[in-house]
A and B are shown apart, each in its own frame.
Chain A
Amino acid sequence: MPTVTYRDALNQALREEMRRDPRVFLMGEEVGVYQGAYKVSRGLLDEFGPLRVVDTPITELGFAGVGVGAAMAGLVPVVEFMTWNFALLAMDQIINSAAKMLYMSGGQVSMPIVFRGPGGPALQLAAQHSQAFESFYANVPGLKVVAPSTPADAKGLLKSAIRDDNPVVFIEGEMLYNTKGEVPEGEYTIPIGVADVKREGTDVTIVAHAKMVAVALRAADELAKEGIGAEVVDPRTIRPLDVATLTASVRKTNRCVIVEEGWPFAGVGAQVAYDIQREAFDHLDAPIVRVTGADVPMPYNKPLEKLAKPDAAKVVAACKQVLYQA
């Protein structure tokens, strides 16, 4: 299997889907001439031309709405946000227009649209550029929320998102674009709503998505040195959430730690913990523990930023806590 970066895997998905379906087009800031702020759209303008690779003004509300309107009129838009921080300006269109169109039209108007871009903190980008919004969008019926952690998942899930007849919020990671992984050759998709066990283990389940999967895997390596077998389960999709796979793991390990970059209050982990205790209460040998971003706006200062983010050491400590080895 060829080794491909997360960035290029996304690029392959876009290219393949645009070749497959002439209704698919990409729109956003710097996606065309500049080749993408993070080069996800490299080469697409050359292949598909300016009608299908559309550079927009810096107007997130406006072009997100243009995407929604284009979807209402029969196209399949992929709307790129340079980062999900900027998409706050477009939330009215994502939530009030895209998420509700099918319902409030009594099933008449489908909304096949993908909103995509990097989310979560990168390095020292400070408060307004370092936010994870998965839980915000996952709260909304009508939206699907996908946050892939590997190049193979990114490609297979983006292709599924583009083919989905519903609005999909597709959250990538700035810090993931350069990561490499094996990507199957040829045509493949990964279904939305199916979790993936990234590492098997018997002693504790670590639930993590997107960038936090790598953190969880590092923690699992550390724990293995001490003879603790951690199982890392990546939901890959936040909504719909594959509760069955998560609880199957917890039924096996009887202990659970949930990791996410976002803030703790009403975060993704709060929902995951609720679902696991509801489905596997009798199997739990310890209260579920969450490792989250600190409950503060992100500081710029490097040591403070490190304190604010989940890391392998914090995950190891949480696992020992649920194993009563702390």
Chain B
Amino acid sequence: MTAKDTRTAKRSARPSSAPPAEDLAGENPAALRKLLRDMLLIRRFEERAGEQYALGKVGGFCHLYIGQEAVAVGAMAALRDDDLIMCSYREHGQALARGVSARAVMAELFGKATGSSGGKGGSMHIFDREKGFLGGHAIVAGHIPLVTGAAFAIKYKGGDQVAVGFFGEAAVNNGAFHESLNMAALWKLPAIYVCENNRYGMGTALERASAMYDIAARTCSYDMPGETVDGMDPLAVRGAMARAAKRARERYIPTLLEARTYRFMGHSMSDPIHGHYRTKEEVELQKARDPVVTFRRTLVDAGMLDDVMWESMQAEVEAEVEDAVRFADESPDPEPAELYTHVYRAP
């Protein structure tokens, strides 16, 4: 769907059905297998994170990304190493897709000194400055102005990076979202706002929270390009991100991207997968769109993946996650003196 189409898009709350597979001719098979591997890593990592939460190794709130892997993986595949990324609190997947090590993310979930934020951030505040990964942020929509500010800084310095923000569909009803998009369009900032529409803000369905259901269409208020993509298809996400990044790098034009996806787990580890707010049947129906299963099939059909490759990919990923869990478990807690470090930066 092009930017223009979005403005007249039909109101629809239904997740888009999988589009016809993009033509894979010209694609590098190894690069596509890497996308599958990245999604599989997130899937296995999150399964283990949930298990470790149940064992009491992970505390606080823990929001799993299972079901949404194609968004982070597809988006990151279109970005450069010097781009800046900010996320909401459901950001384990983006961190892994960005190349933050599974060890550093798992250790952060465990609250250990070896974690990406030294154990002070936890599941909701993963940072890796060197990777341009500027945080998970835990107030819904609160980081959207920060993305705008990072884009402002890029333009201020005359750079051609992009600032990318990931957030859920519940954030778009928040003032911070509107204030940010208005300024980004007004000042022509190289920002890409990625709305991961997983249909539910905790237990509140989009239709119960939003007066209009077509999120990308909200860009008509800001004269900003908007695009809706199948968030279960990493190639569709990658394509849309590439188009948005090109606009931002070359012409400082911001974009709102709506990726229609679905959360297979509860809002956080303490929430039910289904219950009063959605039915088991709905969740099962959505699982037919499972991005890992679907994309694997796409690669098999295209002759880019055989059983041997798949088995070895699985073994590799499982070993990586197992290693991350062991590393996190064996790592030390931060020293008590760390309580008082990093409150202020010393001159």
Instruction: Give chain A's interface residues, CB within 8 Å of chain B.
Output: 25, 51, 54, 56-57, 59, 61-75, 77, 92-93, 96-97, 101-111, 141-142, 144, 164-166
Contacts and interface: CB of A to CB of B under 8 A. Distances in A.
Contacts of B156: 25, 51, 70, 75
Interface in B128-152: 128-129, 134-135, 137, 139, 142-152
A70 B117 contact: no
A72 B149 contact: yes
Nearest to B340: A141
Q: Is the interface of B mostly helix, strand, loop or mixed?
A: mixed
Given A57-B179, A105-B117, A107-B342, A97 B146 contact: yes
A110 B346 CA distance: 10
Interface in B176-214: 176, 179-180, 182-183, 186-187
Given A70-B153, A108-B117, A103 B342 contact: yes
A102 B345 contact: yes
Contacts of A92: 139, 142, 176
B144 A65 contact: yes
B321 to A, nearest CB: 22
Contacts of A97: 137, 142-143, 146
Interface in B95-126: 115-121, 125
Contact of A67 (B135, B147, B149): B149
Given A74-B157, A75-B156, A96-B139, A68 B344 contact: no
B157 A65 contact: no
Interface string B25-44: 00000000000000000000
A324 to B, nearest CB: 42
Nearest to A98: B146
B153 A104 contact: no
12 contacts: A25-B156, A59-B183, A61-B175, A65-B145, A66-B148, A68-B146, A69-B86, A70-B150, A75-B153, A106-B121, A106-B342, A141-B343
A65 B150 contact: no
A272 B87 CA distance: 40
A6 B306 CA distance: 74
Nearest to B159: A73
A65 B148 contact: yes
